[in-house]
Amino acid sequence: MVRLLPSLPPYLASLPKPTAPAFSSSLRPPTMSSSTPVPAAEASRPRKLPVLLFDVMDTIVRDPFYHHIPSFFQMSMKELLESKHPTAWSEFEMGMINESELAKKFFNDGRSFDLEDCMVRAYEYVDGVEDILRSLKKNNYEMHTFTNYPVWYQLIEEKLKLSEYLSWTFCSCQIGKRKPSCDFYLHAVNHLSIDPGNCIFIDDRMVNIEAALSVGMVGLHFKDAEVLKNDLFSVGVELAPLVLEGETEAQ
């Protein structure tokens, strides 16, 4: 985990110090809840902190580019990287070119291809992460995507329905900024009207974590779902217990 901040995050500073917390199967640390939801309309609830910002590819969803695309083109990853245009994909991510322009420009030799179908078939949740999102939603945490992914995020949504858990709020193709630019992180903070120390940013790439830390966010380096559970616990985020199939929730 990476959590290198010079002071206690604001959302934790006002909370009572826990006494000998112990891990449980529900991963619910005692005395660390930032607020208790009241039975009223969502808009009337006090804002529950922290707000969580999630990278998408290889944090929530497996990235086909690394896992499937080389074999799709019958290439090694090294061959693919050497054959592709150096900036076409990043331009696509930022919405500077469209799909047809990407198809013309992706390879240096100009060969045509239809990548979309391969991508859609390969999209799937990273093991264990959907349960974490479900638990966080059950505990009423505010969650947003914070991704460099292009307009194809709509294909992910159609297949995996991420919006059941979090909002597609910060996508580089809509905003014209990319991680690890600090401007992208500051845009998110300003849009949310929140102290950066009340944001937890989760990403599988250290360069993006370091950028989050530089603007004052809490950064968690994603490795796998189990590590993320422990990291969230360590920064005071509660995971609600999930009801397994065949069980009934305690009244």
- β-strands 199-203, 218-221 pairing: parallel
Contact by Cβ (8 Å): 108, 82: no
Bridge partners of 220, per DSSP, are 202
The closest of 143, 153, 84, 91 to 123, measured between CA atoms, is 153
DSSP string over 145-157? EEE---TTHHHHH
User: CB pairs under 8 A, 24+ apart, for 187-192?
Assistant: 188/53, 188/144, 188/146, 189/215, 189/217, 192/51, 192/144
- β-strands 167-171, 199-203 pairing: unpaired
Quote the tokens at residue 176: 């014209």
**Predicted local distance difference test score (pLDDT) of residue 196:** 97
pTM for the whole thing? Answer: 0.74
The side-by-side arrangement of strands in the sheet containing 167-171 is: 167-171, 143-147, 51-54, 199-203, 218-221
Query: Which domains does the chain show, CATH number per domain?
Result: 51-63+124-235 (3.40.50.1000), 67-122 (no CATH)
List per-residue pLDDT tens for the chain, 251 residues long: 555 554 667 777 655 544 333 333 233 323 333 333 434 444 556 899 999 999 999 999 998 877 767 777 777 878 877 888 888 868 887 788 887 787 778 788 877 777 666 677 889 999 999 999 999 999 999 999 999 988 889 999 999 999 999 999 999 989 999 999 999 999 999 999 999 999 999 999 999 999 999 999 999 999 999 999 999 999 999 999 987 655 555 54
Contact by Cβ (8 Å): 147, 171: yes
